Amino acid sequence: MEIFKLKSFLDDKVLQYNNSNFIDSDPVQIPHLFTLKEDREIAGFLAATIAWGNRKMVINNCTKMMMLMGNSPHDFVMSHQPHQLEKLENFVHRTFNGGDFTTFIRGLRHIYTNHGGLETTFKEHQKDGYLHYSINQLKQKFFEVEHQQRTQKHIADPLRNSAAKRIHLFLRWMVRNDNAGVDLGIWKTISPALLSCPLDVHSGNVARKLGLITRKQDDIKALNELDTNLRALDPSDPVKYDYALFGLGVFEGWK
């Protein structure tokens, strides 16, 4: 497909899917439950962390997470007593279990107490036109708390060849202001131009069908290839096309 025709096609699909109707079936609804910036950050971070598998199950388990924190995620993270973490022990979403959940609560408190919060941590490590290094540094600081080694797998690292789909999804929610009420756009210190597409099996398959990716694996090389092509289509807001790729894959059955 010629580049101008591809851009026109994808721009139309963005308009079709990047609207408030998208929220009802997507985990982005979880940070939308809150108004306080820090509540939205923490709710979004936790929701994105378990955003894999059946979307209805993801949303149900995200809602359960919020309930276990008294629907006040920032207050719970910052003010919880050790015994209050006991009620998290039975939580499970696929391979993310109660032990992982409690580690994430402690890791988040560490980030807000000692590193200025999530936005500051990502902002301070922007590098080379991407947020890959920021993710790497967030992971290192996050796991300065005592933790089991297995829990580290729940924050992917682009510097270790991962496309890091879920953390890029979280960053899209926080950074991108779509003027459509879906992405929250509450972080003003990071440019949407630096965002990377949350690459998963659906967006990857559609991207390959459209010639946006040639690499077969959904790894960091494929993500960089996709980012380069999406930035050529819209340098200021490249990840808006995540809606087009995801919509074509999930709602229209492109494979």
Quick: pLDDT tens for 28-80: 999 999 999 999 999 999 999 999 999 999 999 999 999 999 999 999 999 99
Determine the pLDDT at residue 242.
98
What does the pLDDT look like over 104-157, one tens digit per residue?
A: 999 999 999 999 999 999 999 999 999 999 999 999 999 999 999 999 999 999
Residue 102 near residue 88, CB atoms below 8 Å: yes
SS (H, E, C) the chain: CCHHHHHHHHHHHHHHHCCHHHHHHCHHHCHHHCCCHHHHHHHHHHHHHCCCCCHHHHHHHHHHHHHHCCCCHHHHHHHCCHHHHHHHCCCEECCEEHHHHHHHHHHHHHHHHHCCCHHHHHHCCCECCECHHHHHHHHHHHCCCCCCHHHHHHCCCHHHCECCHHHHHHHHHHHCECCCCCCECCCCCCCHHHCCCCCCHHHHHHHHHCCCCCCCCCEHHHHHHHHHHHHHHCCCCHHHHHHHHHHHHHHCCCC
Determine the pLDDT at residue 173.
98
Q: Angle formed by the axes of helices 132-142 and 98-114, to 10°?
A: 100
What pTM does this model have?
0.97
